Amino acid sequence: MTTPPLALIAELTHRCPLHCVYCSNPLQLRANFEELPTEVWIQVLEQAAKLGMFQVHFTGGEPLARSALNSLVSVAHSLDLYTNLITSGIGLNEKKLASLIAAGLDHLQLSFQDSDEGSADRVAGVPVHARKVALANLIHECKSLAFTVNLVVHRHNLDRLESIISFAESLGPQRIEIANVQYYGWALKNREWLLPTCEQVQRSVLIVQRAQERLKGRIKVDFVTPDYYASFPKPCMGGWGRQLMLVDPSGRVLPCHAATVIPGMDFENVREKSLSWIWEDSGSFRRFRGEDWMPEPCRSCDRRTLDFGGCRCQAFLVTGDEAATDPVCSLAPAHSLIEERISHANLSCGPDGASLPPSWTYRTQSVPSSPRSPLQAERTEGRVSDTPTS
Ligand code: SF4
Ligand code: FES
């Protein structure tokens, strides 16, 4: 029997009021009318708890766009699942926050695009930074809620990293996550504009180390490294089918957020199969579990139990072969493809790393709108007691 997963990532919707240029959602976003009804999400939570999971991360898109979020938090809490809300904050206000906490919300991660308002709003594609700051002050007041501030960094804001960390610190979280862009979804489309220079990366590592030292015992500072500059890949999702299950807005169950980019792979849906069956027996979760699938050099490499051969989606997106060694790895046969991107990034920037004006592709929901009216969709969700979104 396979060790049970630790956590469920519940992508409640792909709807989002922001248009971030580095969004890791797929380019083909799921439409409103494909979204799982609330009663199915409740069954998913019950199955997750039964399967032995400890945590649920409510995410999206913007999970606050689902009016039944409160009910789902309440159900998860009643099942003893640790509840985390990953949000841009848009759709949240004092009343909504209080009701989420009353429903049993344990942790909230609020994302920021920058410390500088103009730059933040330019990346988000909408003017939301000031509202987020006001919201962070509200969250900080809620002493029972664990609070993380997430800041995404890239070529156009890494030179401000010191002020970004000071800004995050001023919001009073218990944890700051400085996350370099990972190149999936919309971020891959904008990779040319987002990849930092080598000099920026080296400087940022030192700045984060100094902040970690200075804030020790007060605020935990985590750093998601830019994996294009790493010598070895990250153990993506803790290894394929090893720790996490992601349910997308339409109910497909994925080993990671980007898995649908891999062609020819069938993903089961919670409308038809149980989480337990999908975890144990589905072809998709078994495909890259363990070591049998590994090519050389992974197969005989000592690090294979640490990084599990890296990221399958990145392997496909960069090399066209999902079973290849992650090209980020310095030992990978296709590593030169990453080196090419890095040298291009270092040549195409001035010393400040930001000399080219970006022409970004913003995340857009290009899927058809619901065949039902939005009111009908809300009524479907409303079969379970609900709280208005805002
Ligand atoms: Fe990891 Fe494979 Fe690279 Fe070894 S060769 S470090 S297992 S990706
Ligand atoms: Fe899919 Fe890494 S994002 S395995």
Question: Does the Cβ of 139 fall within 6 Å of ligand 2?
Answer: no
Question: Does the Cβ of 256 fall within 6 Å of ligand 2?
Answer: yes
* Atom of ligand 2 minimally distant from the CA of 312: 4
Question: Does the Cβ of 311 fall within 6 Å of ligand 2?
Answer: yes
pLDDT value at residue 31: 79
Q: What is the pTM of this model?
A: 0.90
Kind of pairing between the strands at 107-112 and 7-11:
unpaired
The answer to whether the beta carbons of residues 370 and 33 sit under 8 Å apart is: yes
Q: Which ligand has the shortest distance to the CA of 301?
A: 1
**Angle at alpha carbon of residue 222, lines to 218 and 227, rounded to 5°:** 165
* Atom of ligand 1 minimally distant from the CA of 310: 8
Per-position pLDDT tens, the chain of length 390? 789 999 999 999 999 989 999 988 888 788 788 899 999 999 999 999 999 999 999 999 999 999 999 999 999 999 999 999 999 999 999 999 999 999 999 999 999 999 999 999 999 999 999 999 999 999 999 989 999 999 999 999 999 999 999 999 999 999 999 999 999 888 998 988 899 999 999 999 999 999 999 999 999 999 988 889 999 999 999 999 999 999 999 999 999 999 999 999 999 999 999 999 999 999 999 999 999 999 999 999 999 999 999 999 999 999 999 999 999 999 999 999 999 999 988 886 544 445 454 578 898 875 444 443 333 333 333 333 323 232
Question: Does the Cβ of 307 fall within 6 Å of ligand 1?
Answer: yes
What does residue 62 show for φ and ψ, rounded to 5 degrees? Answer: -110, 110
Question: Does the Cβ of 327 fall within 6 Å of ligand 1?
Answer: no
pLDDT value at residue 345: 83
Burial class (CB in 10 A: 0-12, 13-18, 19+), 142: middle
Question: Does the Cβ of 325 fall within 6 Å of ligand 1?
Answer: yes
d(CA 78, CA 72): 10
Kind of pairing between the strands at 146-153 and 107-112:
parallel
Q: How far, in Å, is the centroid of ligand 1 from the Cα of 231?
A: 10
Question: Does the Cβ of 328 fall within 6 Å of ligand 2?
Answer: no
Q: End-to-end CA distance of the chain: give it in Å, rounded.
A: 44
Q: Which residues in 187-198 are b (16+ Cβ under 10 Å) and which e?
A: bbbbbbbbbbbe
pLDDT value at residue 388: 28
Q: Which ligand has the shortest distance to the CA of 329?
A: 1
Closest CA to 123 of 201, 30, 187, 176: 187
Q: How far, in Å, is the centroid of ligand 1 from the Cα of 328?
A: 9
pLDDT value at residue 321: 97
Secondary structure class of 227 (helix, strand, coil) = helix
